[in-house]
């Protein structure tokens, strides 16, 4: 495990999950991480990440951040789910500041 505790891995820890699998389950058609998903071995995927230059890693990071922002903006709660959550929230007792420890 110690071989993975390198400065480069620590600096790029935010990228590890993007190299291993798409956080949304299905990558977009233009996803630059698709070639890494076929490896299906986290250790090898991290090793490959370590061979990339800093400019290439920054390019991948930028793409990943843009993709996550876009996909998050596309997530829409279903009306029924939203109403259930609103009902559950309305049934919670009101906070009483005098009971706070």
| pTM above threshold 0.85 | no
Q: What is the DSSP string of 19-55?
A: HH--TTSS--TT-TTHHHHTT--HHHHHHHHHHS-HH
Q: Is 36 left (phi over 0), alpha (psi -120 to 50) or beta?
A: alpha
pLDDT at 100: 47
**pLDDT tens digits, residue range 46-61?**
999 999 999 999 999 9
pLDDT tens digit sequence for 82-101: 655 566 556 655 555 454 44
pLDDT, one tens digit per residue, over 2-26 is 576 778 888 888 999 999 999 988 9
* Cα distances (Å, whole numbers) of residue 69 to 2, 3, 36, 37: 33, 32, 21, 21
């Amino acid at each position: 495990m110690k071989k993975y505790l390198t400065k480069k891995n620590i600096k790029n820890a935010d990228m590890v999950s993007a190299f291993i699998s798409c956080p949304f389950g299905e990558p977009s058609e233009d996803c630059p991480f698709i070639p890494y998903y076929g490896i299906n071995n986290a250790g090898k995927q991290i090793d490959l990440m370590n061979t990339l230059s800093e400019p290439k890693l920054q390019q991948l990071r930028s793409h990943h951040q843009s993709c996550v922002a876009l996909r998050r903006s596309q997530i829409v709660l279903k009306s029924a789910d939203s109403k259930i959550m609103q009902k559950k929230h309305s049934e919670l007792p009101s906070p009483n500041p005098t009971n706070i420890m």
